[in-house]
Each structure stands twice: as C-alpha cells, then as structure tokens.
Structure 1
Amino acid sequence: MILACVFIVLGFFFLVKGADVFVDSASGVATKLGVPTLVIGLTIVAFGTSMPELAVSVTAALEKANEIAVGNVVGSNIFNLLVVGGLSACIYPLIVNPAIMKRDWPLSTLAAGVLFLFLLPDLTISRIEAAILLVCFGFLLYVQIKHTKNETEEKKEEHRSMPKLLLLLVLGIAGIVIGGKLTVEGATSLARILGLSETLIGLTIVAIGTSLPELVTSVVAAKKGENEIAMGNIIGSNLFNILCILGISSILSPIHVETTALMDVGILTLISLGFWFVCKKFSLDRRVGSIMVITYVIYMVYIILR
C-alpha cells in the first residue's frame, strides 16, 4: 500500500510539471507556425493527454479485459466533460469558442450516440464498426484543421526557438504519460488492495487516473487564460477517445461488454447533449461548472451503488 501511494504522489508530480510545460510549449509552437491555438487544443494537446487512455484501452482489449477497455474511455469522457470542464470553469470562467459549440461539441455528442447504437444490438464493437470509427476520426481531423486554419487571432510574439519548443513539447508529453502511468498503477493497486471490482476500477480509478492529464492540462490552461486550449482539449480528447482509441482497440480485438457499459454510454450521450444545451444558453461560468461537478458526484454514487 505504501508503494502504491508513492506511485500516486510521483504520478501527480510528473502530471503537473508535464502539463505546465506542455501547455506553454504548445502555445509557443502555435504562435511560431501561425496556427490557431484552437487547432493545437483539438489535436496535439488532446492527443498527447489521451495517450494514457490509448495505452490502457489497447492493452485491456488485447488481454480481453473488455470492461476496462470501454469503461476507461466512457468513464474518462464523462470525467473530462463534468470534472475537467467543471473545475476549469470554477477556477476561471471559460469562453467557449463558437467553433466548439457549433461543430466539435455536437460531434462529440454524436460520436457517443453512434457508440451507443453500435453496442445496442449485441453489446459488441466489431472490426467493421471499429473501421467506421477510425474513418470518421480521420475525416473529422481533416475538417477541423481545414475550417480553423483561416481563423484570425490576436498575434503573439514567441522568442524561443522552434527546436527548443519542440523539445519542451516532447518533454511535456513524456511527463504526462509517465505521470498518468504511475498514477494509474498506484491507484489500481490501491483499489485492489481495498477489494474493489475490475468493472468499478475501469469506470473510476482507471478512468479518472488516465484523465488526470486532461484535468491538469485544462486547469493550467484556464489559469493562464488559454481558453481555447482548456475547452478544446476536453472536447478534442473526448472525440479522440471514442473514435480513435476504441477504433484501434476494437480493430485489434473486437470488444464485447456487459449491459452496464451500454447504460454508461447512454448516460455519456445524455450528459454531453444536456450540457451542450446549457452552455449554449448560459456562459460556462462558476455556477455551471459547479453543477457539472455535482452531476459527476451523483454519477459516481450511482455506479458504486448499482
């Protein structure tokens, strides 16, 4: 138990330092290349912080630990939206880019709905369905970059050289991945010592642990006023998790799940749709952020008691 706690503490250290370096260098690279920070948030930052989910879900699928593979993605997406988004808004009210509200958030909700429809008939994600997810991911990435590269932003100056920024970017990703791995391993060991089931571990400990990079990255970005990266990271990660991570995992080994997983995907779809409507009508301020966090607490109580 002591070793597990040491892993968790070290994991948090690497996550915090890695996320701080990563957000800073990602903004620098965006400035150097003349790319909107929204694109960086939706791609490099989102993918980098989703690497722990990718590693966990692919490994779980290959080892036939299907509940962990799907529970990790679904649990991470719910955590990203409600806790990462909610806490970021509580720390610093977020201004959500219109492109996210009009295109990316609805697409994230649609992706969850498509996953629900894939699981509904036989509780299985087949290789054909996985291929559809990956094709959708490739097309989405193309559309996002095409539609955002012409957006105008306030020009910023970046004095660091590109090699230095790229080195910092790689170091940031390494810190995030190492931190996520240490945290998950420590938390999973601790959970098993305490006698929790693997299904619950997949939806809670593993999902939250692999989402800690998103949490730290978005909170750091929010504190620095990088709103595009904060919210772009959340929505980009959720799209990446469903379309790319489950796509790759199911291509390698078709995933079959229990009925509870279908219920969780349905909850994810409803939560995504519900808070999209809320954020269209109201700004993503501390009040809405608090409601999002409370909603997650209610969901946690539900999955523990069911």
Structure 2
Amino acid sequence: MTYFILILGFVLLIKGADYFVDAASNIASILRISPILIGLTIVAFGTSSPEAAVSIRAAMKGNNGIALGNVIGSNMFNMSLVVGITAFINPLKVEKETVRKEIPFTLLSSVLLLIVMMDIRLQAMSSNQLTRGDGLVLLSFFTIFLYYLFEVARNSKEKNDEEKNPLLRNMRKNIIFTVGGLTAIVLGGELVVKSSKEIAYSLGMSETLVGLSIAAVGTSLPEMITCITAAAKKHSDIAVGNIVGSNIFNILFVLGTSSVISPIYVEEKIFIDVLFMIVYTSILLIFSRTYHKVSRLEGAILFLSYILYAIYIIIRR
C-alpha cells in the first residue's frame, strides 16, 4: 500500500506539473514572453514545483534528510541524466548568455549552499545546519536572480506572434488549469514525503538516501519529460533554460524557503553529494563552452557518470 501511495504521489506531481507548465506557458505566450525566458522562469519553476512541494513539506515535518537530499539529488539528476539523455537524442544548443551568466550563477548558488552548510568548520558550532538566517541569505540571492530575469524580459526585443490556438485566448481556463496543477503538486508532495519516510524506515535506508534517490528521481521526471520533448522539437533553448532555471530555483528558493520554515540539520555525508553537484555544474559549464552546445558524446559521458554515482550512493547507504 505504501508503494501504491508513493506512485500515486508521483502521478499527481508529474500530471500536476504538466498541467501547470502547459497553462502557465500559454499565459506567457499570450503575454509574448521570449522562449529562453519561458524556459528560465515559467517552465523551470513549474517543473521544479514537485521538488518545492516535497522539500518544503518534508521541512515542515522535520524530515531534514528528505528535504535536503531531494534538492541535491534532483539537481545532479537534471545535470547528468536529463541533460545526457536529451543531448543524446539531439545535441543541445546553449545560448551565449546562458554560458556567460546563468550557468555560472548556478555554480555560484551551489558554492553558496556549501558555504552556509559548513557551520562546524567555519563557525565552530556543534552541528551543521541550514538556519533561518541561511535561508534568508539564499532567498536574497534568489531575489537577485529574479531581478536579472526581469531585466532580461525588459530588454528583450523578441516578441512572439499571438497563437491562434483557442486555448491561448482563454485566459480563465489557463488560470484554472494553473491552480489545479499546483493543487495536485501540493497533494502529491504530501503523499511522496509520507510514503518515502515509511519506505526508508522499513528498508533501513536513511532519509538522506531516500531524498537523493527515490524522491529526487521522482520529482525530476517533469524536467526530464519537458527537456526531451523540447529537444525532440528542436527547442533546445527551452530545454537548457529549464535545467539551469530549475537548479537555481531548487537551491535558492526551495532550500531557502524550507530552512526559513524549519532549520535543516545537515548530515556529514551529504557534503560529498554537494561537492558532486558542484563538479557536475562545472562540467556542464565546460561542455557548454565547446561550440556552445552539448554534443551526443558529452551527453553519453554525463549519463554514464550518473549511473556510477547512483551505484555509489546505494553502496554508501
């Protein structure tokens, strides 16, 4: 029954995110927002809403391992498996602005997370934790990122022609689907946290491992589906923007909000995973700088590296 509830939670998360992204993207199209900005904002935040629902709910219940592990695991899953599979299907073109500004900002966010977690080493405290103060710091950087996005939108010269699809003209219907999608996401997050915790205890797994594996993979499925679809339709700007925007959103907003709600205690072994996340971000930056695209070979390397990482965390437990 617990596994059924877990699957039901994932279904609600994925379908809720699907409806949310479609409806929100339709609204964005009506407002004539550029594709890369849609990828960085509406699509990225929408596909990250399952991570937000799971981590914030886990923080409220005191399940710190799931809250933190879900975000770190999701980010690594996005940059390795999702980018790898997507690039293997169709080499991903990466915009110059993404290489110069957005991926480096993702790297900065990852390093910032590592620093605010190191309470024992930097402040000689008795334990490592993301305090409410740390959460406010993360949210402050998220505000800077939002300001940057607003500047991109304001300076953008691109305007999409209004679609003739009747769905795009029906703003009320899109708003209803947006709200309905968010409702499904919140409910699905509740079910995933509850069932994941029960599975962890029954199998002798730590909450951190559940967050890094089961919860991370499940909540990252919307990003995978969105990116593969975008790549198949040769909208690689939306695909890469989705991954970069999602990872920034996960670190700065999701963990920032979660730790403001309830301080998150950090297990010592999670530092290795944060370092892996920083390495993956650096590799993505290097790959993106080569002819401003991620090739099929580079995608295969990212894919295989995640398989090795998954084996490592399972053995480590």
- With the length of structure 1 as denominator, give the TM-score of the two structures: 0.87
- Where does residue 146 of structure 1 map in the other structure? 151
Shift in alpha-carbon separation, 1:175–1:60, aligned structure 2, 3 A:
closer
- Where does residue 299 of structure 2 map in the other structure? 289
- Where does residue 303 of structure 1 map in the other structure? 313
Cα deviation, residue 24, structure 1: 4.0
The SS at the match of 2:152 is: helix
Instruction: Measure the CA separation in 1 of the matches of 2:226 and 2:16.
Output: 9
The SS at the match of 1:259 is: coil
Instruction: Check conservation: 1:184, 1:209, Cα contact below 8 A.
Output: no
- Where does residue 137 of structure 2 map in the other structure? 132
CA deviation map 1:250-275 (0-9, x unaligned) = 22222221211112111111110122
Shift in alpha-carbon separation, 1:126–1:194, aligned structure 2, 3 A:
closer
The SS at the match of 1:117 is: helix
Question: Which segment drifts farther, 200-209 or 85-94?
Answer: 85-94
Instruction: Check conservation: 2:200, 2:207, Cα contact below 8 A.
Output: no
Cα deviation, residue 223, structure 1: 2.8
- Where does residue 263 of structure 2 map in the other structure? 254
Instruction: Measure the CA separation in 2 of the matches of 1:299 and 1:96.
Output: 25
AA paired with 2:145?
L
CA deviation map 1:36-65 (0-9, x unaligned) = 122222222222222222222223323332
The SS at the match of 1:215 is: helix
- Where does residue 29 of structure 2 map in the other structure? 31
Question: Which segment drifts farther, 173-182 or 57-66?
Answer: 173-182
Structure 1 residue aligned with 2:95, among 97, 116, 138? 97
AA paired with 1:298?
L
- Where does residue 125 of structure 2 map in the other structure? none
Structure 1: state its 5+ residue gaps.
none
Instruction: Measure the CA separation in 1 of the matches of 2:176 and 2:86.
Output: 27
Q: Kindly report which structure 2 residues correspond to 1:1-12, keeping only aligned pairs within 5 A, or say none.
A: 3-7=1-5, 10=8
Cα deviation, residue 145, structure 1: 1.9
Q: Kindly report which structure 2 residues correspond to 1:137-176, keeping only aligned pairs within 5 A, or say none.
A: 137-153=142-158, 155-159=160-164, 160-161=168-169, 162-174=171-183
Instruction: Check conservation: 1:94, 1:227, Cα contact below 8 A.
Output: yes
CA deviation map 1:213-256 (0-9, x unaligned) = 22222223333333233221211111111111111122222222
- Where does residue 106 of structure 1 map in the other structure? 104
Cα deviation, residue 19, structure 1: 5.1
Cα deviation, residue 150, structure 1: 2.6
Instruction: Measure the CA separation in 1 of the matches of 2:222 and 2:196.
Output: 15
- Where does residue 54 of structure 1 map in the other structure? 52
AA paired with 1:301?
I
CA deviation map 1:18-40 (0-9, x unaligned) = 55544444443232112112222
Matched, 1:70 2:72: no
Cα deviation, residue 15, structure 1: 5.5
Cα deviation, residue 277, structure 1: 0.8
Cα deviation, residue 12, structure 1: 5.7
Instruction: Measure the CA separation in 1 of the matches of 2:16 and 2:264.
Output: 32
Instruction: Measure the CA separation in 2 of the matches of 1:116 and 1:69.
Output: 16
AA paired with 1:165?
N
Instruction: Measure the CA separation in 2 of the matches of 1:137 and 1:265.
Output: 19
AA paired with 2:37?
V
Cα deviation, residue 116, structure 1: 0.9
| Identical columns (%) | 42
Q: Kindly report which structure 2 residues correspond to 1:132-281, keeping only aligned pairs within 5 A, or say none.
A: 132-153=137-158, 155-159=160-164, 160-161=168-169, 162-174=171-183, 189=198, 192-281=201-290
CA deviation map 1:145-184 (0-9, x unaligned) = 2124433447344123133333344444455555666566
AA paired with 2:307?
V
Question: Which segment drifts farther, 96-105 or 3-12?
Answer: 3-12
CA RMSD of aligned residues (A): 2.6
Structure 2 residue aligned with 1:79, among 74, 77, 80? 77
Instruction: Measure the CA separation in 2 of the matches of 1:22 and 1:63.
Output: 26
Instruction: Measure the CA separation in 1 of the matches of 2:90 and 2:204.
Output: 38
The SS at the match of 1:196 is: coil
The SS at the match of 2:92 is: coil
Shift in alpha-carbon separation, 1:40–1:185, aligned structure 2, 3 A:
farther
The SS at the match of 2:234 is: coil
